[in-house]
Chain A
Amino acid sequence: METSLRTDPGFWFMTALGLVLLFLGPLFWDLFQIMQITQYVVLSVYVLSLAYIWGFGGILSFGQAAFFGLGAYTFSVAAINMGETTFPFVLAFAIPAIFGAALGYFMFYGKLSDVYMGVVTMVVTLIFWKLINHTAGPEYAIGDARLGGFNGIPSVPVLNVPGDAQAWLDPGQMFQVFMAILTLLYVLLRILIASDFGRISMGIRENETRAALLGYDVRRHKVIMFALGAGIAGMAGGMWATYQTFIDPNVFSLEMSAKALIWTMAGGVGTLAGPIVAVVLLQYLSLKLGEMHILNNNFILGGIMMVLVLLVPKGGLPTLRDGIAALRVRGSVRRSGTPGKVAPDV
């Protein structure tokens, strides 16, 4: 493991927190709380897909919901047809990843600019949403699974123990599996980011031309990252489908894409822990505000998004870190009269 990772207290703290919640959480929570927290866990996996490609590769996707939805539908259709959920879960990662690689090929090998990429990824999501909304008739079926148009697919199977299709997981076990996935994903992404591959990604994020001049194949590198992000989002989609035991075309909605962007921005682009915290806080906030029935949910989301862009462009965690660093500097100035050490800008 890289030294930078080994000496990062944040990494160990988050990993430990994940493990503690994984083993002790179900002992203290009631069923409703477990269901609620499982939702945060699934959405955290989803947000990591964007936090990774945007924060550590500079690839801004406005259409993570396309992969999320694709994963959800892949899982549902495959699980209904196969009668078990292990292989469908793998497919929920693989198919969106393949689709992401194909889309990434067109975008990155075409060297599209940021604006064009944003528009293309958003339009892809819109078109998925439109197409799937039009699959209401009985002729739109894949095997035993009817796509159901805007009604969605009911009775998506619950996860089962691999190899035993009848051994369904109860909500507590499902939470533990998902929490394990989230923790593992966090650790693996941190290792990937600290590896040579991750360093190249960050080099590309900082300056694409320089990275290309140093001999790295920027286009291929970006396609790999994008496909990986697509796969993670797809896996989150599969988790979402089995958590809800139901999906409808809203998994492809623009709101879903926007949420990933908002959480990542709120938590801070360039961190993984920040967006996870943002998921929990903002989902809780929108639940509470929604219960009051005064403000429309879209209104809240849009408002948060604009405020974030205009006032907190760096995001929550980095702003907090900078603030603490600034306070420390001021404190040490007052004590010793010389400027203190400024935290490295990572």
Chain B
Amino acid sequence: MDYTIIVFLEILRAISWLVILAAGLAIIFGMMKVINFAHGEFLMLGGYITIMSHNAGVPLWISMGVLAPLVVGVFGIIVERLVIRHLYGRIIDSLLATWGLSLLMIGGVTMVFGNTVQGVSTPLGSLSIGAYQVPGYNLLLIGIAVAMMMAIWLVLRFTSAGLIARATMQNPDMAETLGVRTSWVYMATFGLGSAVTGLAGGLLAPLTGVAPSMGVNFVAQSFITVITGGASMIAGTLSAGTLLGTISQGVTFATGPVYGDAALLLAALILLRLLPQGITGRIFRKSL
């Protein structure tokens, strides 16, 4: 019985993890149909800010939950104004430019901080379930994933900003005709997506430590989750996160963590062969 609970919690954690990693990317993709190839480096930036400010004496929760999203969000807005803005409608070019940005950021951070791993200890101790110990941090991750999805849903569904966002998503030209300044909507979306990614990076920092090239380890999972999910921010991320999280955790239990990612990709390829627009391209189409 205890073991069942542990396995269940582990799977839940894997799903939450994918949701947290991919949420920022999904917000940007859902709105602009653009994949930010520098996603991994935005995570890395969030992680660095968390650890740097914590080392400078800021309490961990503030640096993780406030500073990291704030700084990465502002950075995202700057990137949008300087680079992405010029490439709307040129999807391939925006992928190439963000990839260039990703290399630039890896190189820049290496030059400033050096190619070393830095870390902080994981907070929240552990919880015992029967004979097993569960890190309390895992439960926090599950809680944050749920809160994140709820918050996005509430904003999109019930606020006027959400209404404008949904209108722009559905038909940018029509929204513009009705007086919505879509270029600002895109800027805000990119900033918000970046902020969420910054938060994810902050949450990541105590788990893995930070290094300039750490992004590489997480982008594969994030990208697969987002493209498998399709264009809907919440339904897509949740359905793909659930499916892929279960598969990868199952494979990890069976064979070890190396093949978890490969299994993810294989599952995603087969799924995309059947549903080329992602899960929400055919199922849950009307959802957010």
Contacts and interface: CB of A to CB of B under 8 A. Distances in A.
Interface stretch (B12-20, B87-95, B132-140, B235-243): B87-95
Interface residues of A, number: 45
A116 B105 CA distance: 24
A51 B93 CA distance: 16
B167 interface: no
A163 interface: no
Contacts of A145: none
B147 interface: no
A131 B258 contact: yes
Given A106-B273, A295-B107, A297-B107, A114 B92 contact: yes
A304 B35 CA distance: 20
B98 to A, nearest CB: 9
B64 to A, nearest CB: 26
Contacts of B108: 296, 299
Given A110-B273, A127-B265, A296-B111, A115 B83 contact: no
Contact of B227 (A60, A111, A119): A119
Given A126-B220, A299-B108, A310-B97, A131 B34 contact: no
B40 to A, nearest CB: 10
Interface stretch (A3-11, A253-261, A338-346): A253-261
A119 B35 contact: yes
Interface in B63-99: 83, 86-87, 90-93, 95-97, 99
Most buried by B among A111, A120, A122, A127: A127
Contacts of B261: 126-127, 130
Question: What are the 8 tightest A-B residue pairs by CB atom distance, in nearest-first order?
Answer: A299-B107, A305-B100, A302-B103, A302-B104, A298-B107, A296-B107, A306-B100, A110-B273
Given A115-B33, A299-B108, 13 more contacts: A110-B273, A111-B276, A115-B35, A116-B272, A118-B35, A127-B220, A130-B262, A258-B99, A298-B103, A298-B107, A305-B103, A310-B97, A313-B93
Interface of A: 60, 62, 103, 106, 109-116, 118-120, 122-124, 126-127, 129-131, 134, 254-255, 258, 261, 265, 295-306, 308-310, 313
30 contacts: A62-B95, A106-B270, A113-B276, A114-B91, A115-B227, A116-B272, A118-B35, A119-B223, A120-B269, A122-B37, A122-B223, A123-B223, A127-B220, A254-B216, A255-B103, A295-B107, A296-B106, A298-B106, A299-B111, A301-B103, A302-B100, A302-B102, A302-B104, A303-B100, A303-B104, A308-B100, A309-B93, A309-B100, A310-B86, A310-B87
Interface of B: 33-35, 37, 83, 86-87, 90-93, 95-97, 99-108, 110-111, 216-217, 219-220, 223-224, 227, 258-259, 261-262, 265, 268-270, 272-274, 276
